[in-house]
Amino acid sequence: MQSNIEQVTNIIRTLPFEDLEKLGKVIDEEKRAKQTKNTEVEKQLDDYAKAKKWIAENGENYMNQWVCLDGDKLIAHGEDGREVYRKAKEAAIKAPFIKRIIEEPEAFVGGWS
């Protein structure tokens, strides 16, 4: 039994030159689309890490407020989450990181004695 790539390769070898040209363009477009998608995902992950670091370093200054970050850049903050979100959209942020800063309780570790 042939693998998918072997089957595709055999079909490609039977194509006329004009169809090979078209196929080459389709393959190039697919490569660019996948590369762009991978780059966007990597940027979002990097921005998320920067936002988490920013919150760890600056969050106490925005206690009980909503913050909107683009990476490590503060876009908006305030007590109304909808307003903060609206400002993010106005700033044309594709994937805004929005979080309400609250005092996190310390982890409780206990057991029965």
Q: Per-residue pLDDT for the chain (113 aa), expressed as one digit of tens each?
A: 778 889 989 999 999 999 999 999 999 898 888 887 778 888 889 999 999 999 999 999 999 999 999 999 999 999 999 999 999 999 998 888 999 999 877 777 766 76
64 Rama class: left (phi>0) / alpha (psi -120 to 50) / beta: left
> Which residues have C-beta within 8 Å of that of residue 40, sequence separation ≥ 6?
none
Q: 88, 77 in Cβ contact below 8 A? A: no
| Position 85, amino acid | Y
Q: What pTM did the predictor assign? A: 0.61
- Residue 97 phi, psi (nearest 5): -100, 110
- What gap in Å lies between CA 6 and CA 109, rounded to an integer? 57
Q: What element of type H or E holds 68?
A: strand 66-70
